[in-house]
Amino acid sequence: MILVVMAAGMGSRFGGSKQTTGLGPNGEFIIDYSIYDAIKAGFKKVVFIIRECDYEVFRNTIGKRIEKSIDVEYAFQKMDDIPDGCSVPEERIKPLGTGHALLSCRNIVNENFAIINADDFYGRESFIKIGDYLKNVSKESKEYCMVGYILKNTLSDNGSVSRGVCEVSDGKLVNITERKDILYQDGKLVYIDEEAHELSPDSYVSVNLWGFTPMVFEDASKYFIDFFKETKDLIKGEFYLPTIVKKSIEEDKATVNVLGTTAKFNGVTYKEDKEKMEKYLKDLVDTGVYPNNLWN
């Protein structure tokens, strides 16, 4: 099994971004803990999706220190890696989104894989769950999975968050809708879209921990072409990974099993979250969940 880590744009922010802020006792990044947990769950290789111009700094900062513990490979998210006949406006600066990031590794990932964000702390239980699932599904199958977190366990004390709110039936994902500006307001959990709309605190949400077989690239490539045809603003438009999942379900091309967890999802969305995350990691080290120095 392979762990794919979406980290394009990470290298350009070394020195200040949440992905590259040392939070562990010996300056470990959040990404270090995800890789450590993935190894414990049976993953044998990690593929980092990065910008090609960031390769040297990324490998020197992160890659080299984990190379002795797991096989490492790099995929580059390039603005010119797009379907024939399509084009990107010259004014476009940002990468084309998480769906494009997924497709960036299509030529080097040929077995079942999990894909995550570089800057979020998912916890070992989630990697074990998704690893156990991927070990037991054929790579020719379109039976995918996601780890579903309970919405109230994914919030920040310091401001609103965005989450993919899921509709689940009989353990299967039926629909996923991106909701922004989720926070407590007057004692109720809501998302803000011009006005407040109430959400159930116990809803399942996606935080981009997906499990796929290599078959996902086939449909993702088709939907990427659709993105270029249907998007009016290609300067700002984003091709999202959940869009691939949603369309695959709607067209009955795939099923997505929701692996529910009661674990707390930890992110550093705001600078005020940093101190809380440092304490959380220290507690995990003190209780023996992680060694004091991950890679020694």
* pLDDT given at position 186: 86
* pLDDT given at position 156: 84
The two structure tokens encoding residue 291: 């060694």
CATH number of 2-286: 3.90.550.10
Beta bridge partners of 257: 145, 172
pLDDT in tens, 28-83: 888 999 999 999 999 999 999 998 988 998 898 889 989 999 999 999 999 889 99
pLDDT in tens, 209-220: 999 999 999 999
* pLDDT given at position 11: 42
Domain locations along the chain: 2-286
Beta bridge partners of 146: 210, 258
- Gyration radius from the chain CA atoms: 19
* pLDDT given at position 211: 97
pLDDT in tens, 111-155: 999 999 988 899 999 999 999 999 999 999 999 999 999 999 998
Whether 157 and 168 have beta carbons less than 8 Å apart is answered as no
Which amino acid type is present at position 1? M
Residue keyed to tokens 């490492």: 72
φ, ψ (nearest 5 deg) of residue 138: -65, 140
Whether 96 and 231 have beta carbons less than 8 Å apart is answered as no
* pLDDT given at position 219: 94
